[in-house]
C-alpha cells in the first residue's frame, strides 16, 4: 500500500506542501490541474510544472484526482467524441509525466453531496453531514447552485443550462447511462493500454439515486457490471470505503476481497449513521464510527494490495480553519487518519 495525501495545489489549498512532507510515510501527493475546464486537454508542459513543484518538495505525483468527465459524455450527446479525444490526449500526457492512476467519476450532473459542511460535534470539532430529509425538500437545480463550489465539483455546463441537464437525466434510464459509460470506457482504455496508465472510477456519494437522477456506482452488483465493461487491468476502481458504506448493504471487506485486482486507488475513512439515509463523517479510528477499518485494511493486506491509498474527509480540529470550498480537507485530522491507517498496516506486517 502506497500512502498519499490529497492536495489542491498552491492556489487553491491553504495547506503548504512542506507540511504534507512532514507526515510520516507519505510518499506522494494526489492532485489536479484546476486551470483546465472539463473536456479540455491538459498540456504536458503544465503537467510537468506541477510534477516539478511536488518533486522539489520530496514527494511524487503518481495519482491525479481527478480528470473530470465532460457532461456531454455522460449525456451521450454527439459532441462526446471530441471530449473523449481530449481525454485521451490528457491521459497520454499524464502517462508521459509518470502518472500511474487517474481517479474520476461518472456521477450525473453533480458530484458528492452533503447538506451540512461544518456540523459541530460534542467535542467541538466540525464535520460534514448528510440529511436525507433536507435533500427531499430541495430540487436538484437549487442544490447544484448551492453546492457547486465544493471540492471535486467541476461542472461542465453553465447555470442557465442546469434545469435542462437535470430534466434530461430525470428522463434517462439506467440502461442508457450504462451505455454512455461503456462508450466512454471503451473509448479511453486503448490509450491507457498503450501508455500504461490506469483509470479508477470513484463511487457515487451517497451511494443511492437522489433528485430522481440515476446513479450507477452504488453497490457490489453494479461494480461487477462496471468491471465487466472492459477486460483490461487498466480499467478499475477508486474504492472509497466511506462513499460506498453510506449504503448499509455494502460489505466493504467482501468487495475488497472480490475486486482487489481492479482496485488501483482507495480512500479510507469512517462514518456514523444517524437516521434513515442520513449520516455524518467522523474520525478515522474504529471506535468513532461504524466501519471496522481494521478489517478493511487487513483485507487489503491479505490480498497483497500494492496500489495507492489516502485518508479521506477529516474533521476540522485544533482551531484549524479551511477555505469555504474545501470542507473536509484540513491538515490535522487527515494526518491523524493517515497515521492510523499506517499503524494498522504495520501491525499486519509485523504479525504476518
Query: What are the catalytic residues?
Result: 202, 240, 267, 312-313, 329
Q: How far apart are CA 246 and CA 213, in angstroms?
A: 17
DSSP letters, 269-317, are -EEEE-SSS-EEEE-SSGGGSSS-HHHHHHHHHHTT--SEEEE----B-
Cα dist. 23→89, 236, 261 in Å? 34, 28, 28
Q: 450525473: which residue's cell?
A: 108
Which of 57, 56, 59, 55 is closest to 26 using CA atoms?
Answer: 59
6 HSE (CA, 13 A, CB side) = 27
283 close to 270: Cβ distance less than 8 angstroms:
yes
Radius of gyration of the chain (CA): 19
Which of 20, 42, 23 is closest to 32 using CA atoms?
Answer: 42
Q: How far apart are CA 228 and CA 182, in angstroms?
A: 10
Q: What is the DSSP letter of 193?
A: H
- Which helix (H) or strand (E) segment holds residue 177: the answer is helix 174-195
Amino acid at each position: 500500500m502506497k500512502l498519499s495525501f490529497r492536495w489542491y495545489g498552491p492556489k487553491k489549498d491553504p495547506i503548504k506542501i512542506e507540511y504534507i512532507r512532514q507526515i510520516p510515510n507519505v510518499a506522494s501527493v494526489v492532485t489536479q490541474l484546476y486551470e483546465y475546464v472539463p473536456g479540455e486537454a491538459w498540456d504536458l508542459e503544465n503537467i510537468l510544472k506541477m510534477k516539478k513543484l511536488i518533486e522539489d518538495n520530496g514527494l511524487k505525483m503518481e495519482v491525479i484526482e481527478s480528470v473530470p468527465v465532460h457532461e456531454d459524455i455522460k449525456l451521450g450527446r454527439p459532441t462526446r467524441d471530441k471530449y473523449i479525444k481530449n481525454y485521451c490526449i490528457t491521459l497520454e500526457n499524464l502517462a508521459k509525466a509518470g502518472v500511474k492512476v487517474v481517479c474520476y467519476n461518472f456521477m450525473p450532473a453533480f458530484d458528492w453531496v452533503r447538506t451540512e459542511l461544518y456540523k459541530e460535534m460534542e467535542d467541538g470539532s466540525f464535520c460534514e453531514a448528510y440529511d436525507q430529509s433536507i435533500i427531499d425538500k430541495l430540487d436538484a437545480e437549487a442544490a447544484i447552485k448551492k453546492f457547486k463550489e465544493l471540492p471535486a465539483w467541476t461542472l461542465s455546463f453553465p447555470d442557465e443550462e442546469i434545469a435542462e441537464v437535470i430534466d434530461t437525466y430525470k428522463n434517462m434510464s439506467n440502461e442508457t447511462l450504462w451505455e454512455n459509460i461503456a462508450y466512454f470506457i471503451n473509448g479511453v482504455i486503448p490509450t491507457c493500454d498503450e501508455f500504461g496508465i490506469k483509470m479508477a472510477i470513484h463511487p457515487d456519494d451517497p451511494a443511492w439515486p437522489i433528485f430522481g437522477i440515476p446513479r450507477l456506482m452504488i453497490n457490489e452488483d453494479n461494480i461487477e457490471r462496471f468491471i465487466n465493461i472492459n477486460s483490461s487491468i487498466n480499467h478499475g476502481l477508486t474504492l472509497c470505503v466511506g462513499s460506498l458504506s453510506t449504503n448499509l448493504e455494502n460489505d466493504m471487506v467482501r468487495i475488497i476481497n472480490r475486486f482487489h485486482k481492479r482496485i488501483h486507488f482507495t480512500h479510507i475513512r469512517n462514518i456514523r449513521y444517524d437516521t434513515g439515509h442520513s449520516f455524518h463523517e467522523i474520525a478515522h479510528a474504529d471506535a468513532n464510527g461504524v466501519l471496522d477499518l481494521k478489517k478493511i485494511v487487513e483485507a487489503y493486506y491479505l490480498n497483497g494490495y500494492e496500489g495507492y491509498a489516502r485518508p479521506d474527509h477529516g474533521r476540522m480540529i485544533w482551531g484549524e480553519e479551511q477555505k469555504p470550498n474545501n470542507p473536509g480537507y484540513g491538515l490535522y485530522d487527515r494526518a491523524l487518519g493517515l497515521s492510523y491507517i499506517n499503524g494498522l498496516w504495520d501491525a499486519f506486517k509485523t504479525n504476518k
